[in-house]
Amino acid sequence: MRLHRSWAGLAFLASIASGQTPPTAAPRAAGGGDATDLSILYAGAPGGEREKHFVEFLEEWFPEVHTISLEELDSKAAEPFDVVVADWKPQYKDGRSLPGAGPKVHLDPGYSKPTICLASVGAAICGGKLDWL
Amino acid sequence: MRLDHPIFHVPLETKLDWSEIATPENYRNWPGGRDLPARMKVWRVHDGEFPAIDVGMVSDPFGYEDSPDCEWISSGVNSKGPNSVALGRVGNFFHWGFFGDPSLMTESGKRVFVNTICWMKQFDGQRPILPAKASQSRDWAFVYVGYIRELGDRDTTFTSHGPDGEKKQTAQEFLRTLFPAEVLAAAGQGEGKLDADKVEAYYREHLEQLVSGQKGLVVDADVVELGVSNRTPEILDRLAERLTTDPKDALALRCVERYLDLPKPKPDVVAWIRANRDRLYFSDVGGFKWRLPPDKLVPRAPRAETPVEPSAAKPVVATASVEPAKLAPGATAKLVVHVRTAPTWHIYPREATGTPNAKAELTPTLPAGLATAGDWIDPESHPDAISRIAILEGAFDFALPIRVADDAVSGRRKLRCKLAYQCCDPFMCRPPESLEVECEVVIAVQ
């Protein structure tokens, strides 16, 4: 039994790193090769600010970035890409949970594409050990 | 944080800037939280926090890595305990528990996010081994003990809603529902207020024999009789031995049923154990079962070399030396394993009694020209303040007398030694583990 769901605020604190500017070209990994030569699928809430921010950021680092609604993500949609970034819009307003704001995702059982899950998206699409504490 | 993990280093080297915050008070009653300092070192991933932006999410850390497809990488400031998973991998899924999008991320946060994407590429096709949790990890026993400490003195009424309607309980009534009656009885908890120290001591003593029962974590009497842990390979050996002697051994058959995830149709159990022993892993979360991993599993990131300083992440470190380090043929010396434990952590002596926890075991590998010349000389132990079981903590040495052969050839020799142990702090025990140390000696013919 859990007493209450966890919250996670800032993951630690630090002064913002200085002297690190985004590259104008994809960086090269040590030892040669372009480790960021990957195609990325951002699966989020279409048309929102988060999608805009993520796409702008990912396009700085990766040569190919596409978008899709998280609610349409499945193996077939993810297959052409190297890595998926799974995200969703805010589910709280003024500190209160918005009923029904969570994504309606139904990944197929065979889904096996590498997927970065932002915040609570992992609990929605993976579950198991990737759950709320 | 696992700062040695590749997501902090490749392909983009990342400079994390550190500062300090007051250690969250809610950490104190969670495993690993009691002896944290008043302030803790932290790294900012993004600006903004709840309620200005959504909460993030942390996952259960206990048993997180008890299947080989998972990696615990970092906690994050949260309302539970210090080890809650904020960055971690489960098969092909990476949990980035923070909500801030790139417009809020720090520069180092962005670079680690890029590295994470690159790191995950290799796990294409690696679905999570355990699609659902079958049990809580046995470490939750100590979370519930923490609840006793947190709630035990509260004049609070808990209200629950069930099939029989609304039910109100006092804090003590609620806490008793977290523990099986047989555990409370065995821990000497009759009527009245629960004693957290006694319940904890009971669970610590029997940690390696715990199994998930119908009403919580209980001690498995069969495992007690076997005299082994249910999650170290020795139980597999013991079961194979007993079933070889008597294929109808009732205790062994019960343990096979309870602990082995056998394929269908059911194979010859002894042959299956012997064929798969070194591949099997034990998962509390997977139902307290010994399981076979998938054939093609991309391994976790290798851990960094044993650090010089022990820490909460790596509570036991060791080095080795030969004293003296330069020897002539026929000379005697000592192979010394220098062990250090992090504050509040301990291991168990080689000859420890009264505990099912794994005792220290040293296995030297000596090169040609060197041989042992006696048994290990053990460091002095002392009784643990709570359990009174002999423990080793702080800095201590194990020494093995060795001798150089009379006809040893000159040159450098490398000696290795494996130290197997189980380390515990007042709240939890890590699974039995081992480390390896090595050192050199020079043999010089005079």
Collect all residues with Cβ–Cβ distance below 8 Å to B99 and sequence separation of at least 6. Answer: A90, A118, A119, B46, B53, B54, B55, B56
Cα separation of B63 and B406, whole Å?
Answer: 51
Cβ contact B80–A82 (<8 Å): no
Return the pLDDT at B307: 52
Taking the domains of chain A in order of start, what are their residue ranges?
A: 39-125
Chain B CA closest to residue A114: B92
pLDDT for position B17: 76
| SS3 of residue B350 by DSSP | coil
What's the whole-model pTM score?
Answer: 0.73
Q: How far is CA B108 from the centre of its chain?
A: 29
pLDDT (tens digit, 9 = 90+) per residue, B365-378?
A: 888 788 999 999 99
pLDDT for position A17:
24
* Closest among B433, B384, B355, B424 to B139, alpha carbons compared: B424
Residue with more model confidence, B173 or A25:
B173
Domains belonging to chain B, first-starting first, are 6-123 (no CATH), 140-291 (no CATH), 316-443 (2.60.40.830)
Please state, as a whole number, how many other Cβ atoms lie within 10 Å of the Cβ of residue B210. 26
The predicted structure's pLDDT at residue B363: 92
Return the pLDDT at B304.
58
pLDDT at B284 over 60: yes
Residues 6+ apart with CB under 8 A from B21: A12, A13, B39, B40, B42, B77
Average pLDDT (B293-306) is: 76
Q: What is the ipTM of this complex?
A: 0.83
Which 8-state DSSP code applies to residue B118? Answer: H
Residues 91-120 of A with CB under 8 A from B: 91-92, 94-95, 110-120
Residue B300 has a pLDDT of: 84
Location of structure tokens 């050996």: B237
Shortest CA gap A75–chain B (Å): 11
CATH 3.40.50 fits A39-125, yes or no: yes
* Contact assignment for B132 to A127 by CB distance below 8 Å: yes
Mean pLDDT, rounded, of chain A:
79
What Å distances lie between residue A61 and A21, A36, A51, A65, B182, CA to CA? 12, 7, 16, 10, 58
Q: Which of A17, A83, A117 faces B121 most closely, judged by CB atoms?
A: A83
B77 touches chain A (CB under 8 A): yes
Residue B397: predicted pLDDT: 92
pLDDT in tens, B223-279: 999 988 899 898 999 999 999 999 999 999 999 999 999 999 999 999 999 999 989
Are the Cβ atoms of A113 and B93 closer than 8 angstroms? no
Query: CA Rg, chain B, in Å?
Result: 25
B54/A9 Cβ within 8 A: no
Please report which confidence band the pLDDT of residue A31 belongs to, taking 50, 70 and 90 as the band edges.
very low
User: Which residue has better confidence, B432 or B259?
Assistant: B259
Contact B280, B236 (CB under 8 A): yes
Per-residue confidence band for A118, with pLDDT thresholds at 50, 70 and 90: very high
Alpha carbons B336 and A11: distance in angstroms, whole number: 41
DSSP E strand stretches across A1-133:
39-44, 64-69, 83-86, 92-93, 96-97, 115-118
Average pLDDT for chain B: 90
| Torsion angle of the four alpha carbons B43, B49, B55, B60, in this order, in degrees rounded to the nearest 10 | 30
Mean pLDDT within B298-313: 72
- CB distance B64–A20 less than 8 Å? no
Q: Which of A8, A53, A54 sits opposite B97 (nearest CB)?
A: A8
Q: How far apart are CA A71 and CA A68, in angstroms?
A: 8
Distance CA B178, CA B77 (A): 26
B411 vs B444: CA distance, rounded Å = 6
Lowest mean pLDDT, pick from A26-40, A61-75, B139-153: A26-40
Q: Where are the alpha helices (DSSP H) in B139-284?
A: 140-151, 171-176, 181-186, 196-205, 221-226, 234-245, 250-259, 269-276
